[in-house]
C-alpha cells in the first residue's frame, strides 16, 4: 500500500531508448500477439530449417512436437528466437510491456512489495526469464530509481536469462547503453555483463542454473508459452503421442501423425486422473518451475509468471503467428512464432508443496488490484498532449479489456511459505523453556495483485 501511494508521485511518461512501441498497431482480438509481415518475409532460415527437419526425420523417424518446437525456436544457428528481433514495430508480435509503460511500472511495484514482505533482505536479485527487448526490466528500473529511498542500502542486481544473442544485445542497449561487455569465452555461464544507467550490475545467462543463489524475485512474462510442449491424443488403445513426420504425398511438407505405440513421454507425462482427450504437456516448463520453487524455498523470494494460460482445462492450443494471422505451425518452420498456452495446473503440481502458490488470476484483475486505474489517472493528469493521452487510454484498454488481453493472460505466483505466515516462536533448545507465543508480530503484508489493495 505504501509503495502504491509512492507511485502516484512518478509522473514520467516513458522515454524510449529503444524504438517506441506501436501503440496504434492494428490488433486482432482473437490473437494476443499481433504481427507485422515485413520481418517474417525478410527472415531467411525457413527453408534451411525445413531441410534440416526433413533430413532429421528421414534418418531417425518422426520427431516429438517438443523437439520440433525446440528446433524451430531455439536451434543455435537458425532458431526463430536466436535469429530475429520479433518484437516491436518491425517484428512479429507485441507484448504487454511493449504496449504500455504502466505494465512494467506495476510489476516494479510488485517486486518491491514482495521484497518488503520478505523483510527487506540486504541483497535483492531481480531475475527475468526471456526478457525480449528489455522493456519490462527498463520500466521496473525506473520505479526502483524513483523509489530509491524505499530500497535503502539494499544491494540490487539484475540477472537476465536469455537464449538469443541478438535479443541480449538489444536488451543491453536498452538497459545499459553501449556499456556492456561480451564474454570472450563461449562457455562462460555469464555471457554478457554491464551496468544499468541507475548503477546496478546486470548479467546475462543462457540457463537459470547459472544465476547466483540468493534472495531473488523472478519474473517470466511470455516465457513459458515459448517452451516446447509434447502433444498427446487419447485413442481406443490409450494415450498416444502426436509427432511430426514428413508428408509422404508432399515430401516438402510436414504433417502430424499419432504414433501407434506408447512413447516414453506418453507413459510418463499423462496424469492418472486426466479427463481431457487431447493434452499438451511442457516438461521443460515443469523443470524450470521446480528449480524456481527450490530456489525460493531455500533462499527466499518469489516468482511471478504471466502468460496466455489456463488451469488444466484447455486441449489443443499449439499455434503459430505470422503476418497478423494465425499461421499453420508446420508451414515454413522458422518463419513464424510458435506458442502454446501455459497449463498452470501442471506448473502448480510441479512446484509441489515446496512453495506457496497463488493464481492463476486474470491480467485484468491483477492489474486492477495493483492500481492500474489510479496510475492511468496520474499519467493523464500530467499529460497535455492529445495523442499521448489517446495512446495511454488505448493501451490501458488493450491490457485490461476482457476481449483483448484482460482475460486471456493469467498471473501466477510462487512464494516462500514464510511470506504468508506470522513469524513463529523459536523452538527452545534442549533444557530451555519454550518462549512465550508471540502476540505482537504484525500480520504479513497482503500479496499485491492477488488481492485488492487499498489505495487511499
130 near ligand SAM, rule: CB under 6 A: yes
296 near ligand SAM, rule: CB under 6 A: no
Copy the grid coordinates of residue 27: 490488433
Q: Which stretch binds ligand SAM (CB under 6 A): 127-135, 188-196, 262-270, 307-315?
A: 127-135
In terms of CB distance, is 68 or 223 closer to ligand SAM?
A: 223
- Under 8 Å between Cβ of 190 and 203: yes
Shortest distance (Å) from residue 58 CB to ligand SAM? 26
Looking only at the bridges linking them, the beta strands covering 325-327 and 319-322 are antiparallel
- Under 8 Å between Cβ of 406 and 400: yes
In terms of CB distance, is 91 or 371 closer to ligand SAM?
A: 91
Backbone φ, ψ for residue 163 (5° rounding) = -85, -20
* C-alpha to C-alpha distance for 94 and 71, rounded to whole angstroms: 23
* C-alpha to C-alpha distance for 161 and 127, rounded to whole angstroms: 7
* C-alpha to C-alpha distance for 351 and 415, rounded to whole angstroms: 10
Shortest distance (Å) from residue 186 CB to ligand SAM? 16
Whose CA is closest to 157, among 217, 102, 101? 217
In terms of CB distance, is 222 or 343 closer to ligand SAM?
A: 222
Shortest distance (Å) from residue 63 CB to ligand SAM? 17
Selected from 131, 194, 333, 449, the binder of ligand SAM by CB under 6 A is: 131
105 near ligand SAM, rule: CB under 6 A: no
Site for ligand SAM in 10-39 (CB under 6 A): none
- Under 8 Å between Cβ of 364 and 402: yes
Q: Which stretch binds ligand SAM (CB under 6 A): 124-132, 150-158, 183-191, 427-435?
A: 124-132
Report how far apart, in Å, the C-alpha atoms of 221 and of each of 130, 363, 423 are.
7, 12, 32
In terms of CB distance, is 71 or 162 closer to ligand SAM?
A: 162
Give the number of residues written for the chain: 456
Site for ligand SAM in 59-98 (CB under 6 A): 74, 81, 87, 95, 97-98
Site for ligand SAM in 299-358 (CB under 6 A): none
In terms of CB distance, is 117 or 131 closer to ligand SAM?
A: 131
In terms of CB distance, is 112 or 338 closer to ligand SAM?
A: 338
Site for ligand SAM in 209-238 (CB under 6 A): 221-223, 226
Q: How many helices (H) and strands (E) does the chain have?
A: 16, 18
In terms of CB distance, is 70 or 120 closer to ligand SAM?
A: 70
In terms of CB distance, is 101 or 266 closer to ligand SAM?
A: 101
Q: What pairs with residue 123 in β-bridges?
A: 155
Shortest distance (Å) from residue 43 CB to ligand SAM? 15
Looking only at the bridges linking them, the beta strands covering 254-258 and 190-195 are unpaired
Copy the grid coordinates of residue 8: 502516484
* C-alpha to C-alpha distance for 367 and 403, rounded to whole angstroms: 15
Shortest distance (Å) from residue 402 CB to ligand SAM? 20
Site for ligand SAM in 143-182 (CB under 6 A): 161-164, 167
- Exposure class string for 2-40: b at 16+ Cβ within 10 A, else e: ebbebbeebeeebeeebeebbbebebeeeebbbbbeebb
Q: Which residues bind ligand SAM (CB under 6 A)?
A: 74, 81, 87, 95, 97-98, 130-132, 161-164, 167, 221-223, 226
Amino acid at each position: 500500500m505504501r509503495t502504491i501511494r509512492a507511485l502516484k508521485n512518478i509522473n514520467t511518461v516513458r522515454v524510449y531508448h529503444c524504438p517506441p512501441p506501436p501503440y496504434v498497431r492494428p490488433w486482432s482480438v482473437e490473437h494476443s500477439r499481433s504481427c507485422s509481415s515485413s520481418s517474417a518475409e525478410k527472415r531467411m532460415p525457413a527453408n534451411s530449417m525445413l531441410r534440416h527437419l526433413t533430413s532429421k526425420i528421414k534418418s531417425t523417424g518422426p520427431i516429438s512436437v517438443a523437439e520440433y518446437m525446440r528446433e524451430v525456436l531455439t536451434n543455435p544457428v537458425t532458431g526463430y528466437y536466436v535469429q530475429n528481433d520479433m518484437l516491436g514495430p518491425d517484428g512479429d508480435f507485441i507484448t504487454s510491456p511493449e504496449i504500455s509503460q504502466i505494465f512494467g511500472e506495476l510489476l516494479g511495484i510488485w517486486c518491491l512489495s514482495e521484497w518488503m514482505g520478505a523483510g527487506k533482505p540486504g541483497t535483492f536479485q531481480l531475475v527475468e526469464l526471456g526478457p525480449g527487448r528489455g522493456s519490462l526490466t527498463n520500466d521496473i528500473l525506473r520505479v526502483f530509481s524513483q523509489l530509491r529511498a524505499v530500497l535503502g542500502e539494499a544491494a540490487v542486481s539484475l540477472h537476465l536469462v536469455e537464449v538469443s544473442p541478438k535479443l541480449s544485445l538489444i536488451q543491453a542497449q536498452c538497459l545499459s547503453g553501449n556499456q556492456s561487455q561480451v564474454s570472450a569465452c563461449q562457455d562462460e555461464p555469464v555471457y554478457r555483463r554491464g551496468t544499468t544507467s541507475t548503477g546496478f550490475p546486470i548479467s546475462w545467462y543462457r540457463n537459470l542454473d547459472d544465476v547466483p543463489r540468493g534472495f531473488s524475485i523472478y519474473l517470466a512474462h511470455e516465457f513459458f508459452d515459448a517452451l516446447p510442449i509434447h502433444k498427446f491424443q487419447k485413442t481406443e488403445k490409450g494415450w498416444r503421442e502426436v509427432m511430426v513426420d514428413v508428408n509422404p504425398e508432399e515430401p516438402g511438407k510436414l504433417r502430424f501423425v499419432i504414433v501407434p505405440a506408447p512413447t516414453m513421454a506418453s507413459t510418463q507425462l499423462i496424469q492418472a486422473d486426466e479427463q481431457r482427450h487431447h493434452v499438451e504437456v511442457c516438461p521443460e516448463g515443469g523443470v524450470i518451475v521446480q528449480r524456481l520453487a527450490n530456489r525460493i524455498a531455500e533462499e527466499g523470494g518469489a516468482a511471478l509468471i504471466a502468460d496466455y494460460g489456463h488451469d488444466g482445462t484447455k486441449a489443443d492450443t499449439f499455434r503459430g503467428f505470422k503476418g497478423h494471422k494465425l499461421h499453420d505451425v508446420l508451414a515454413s518452420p522458422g518463419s513464424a512464432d510458435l506458442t502454446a498456452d501455459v497449463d498452470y495446473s501442471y506448473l502448480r503440481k510441479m512446484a509441489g508443496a515446496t512453495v506457496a502458490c497463488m493464481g492463476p488470476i486474470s491480467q485484468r484483475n491483477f492489474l486492477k488490484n495493483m492500481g492500474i486505474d489510479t496510475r492511468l489517472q496520474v499519467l493523464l493528469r500530467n499529460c497535455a498532449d492529445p495523442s499521448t493521452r489517446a495512446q495511454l487510454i488505448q493501451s490501458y484498454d488493450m491490457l485490461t479489456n476482457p476481449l483483448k488481453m484482460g482475460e486471456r493472460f493469467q498471473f501466477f505466483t510462487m512464494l516462500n511459505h514464510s511470506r504468508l505466515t506470522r513469524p513463529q516462536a523459536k523452538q527452545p533448545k534442549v533444557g530451555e523453556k519454550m518462549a512465550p507465543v508471540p502476540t505482537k508480530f504484525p500480520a504479513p503484508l497482503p500479496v499485491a495483485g492477488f488481492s485488492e489493495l487499498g489505495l487511499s
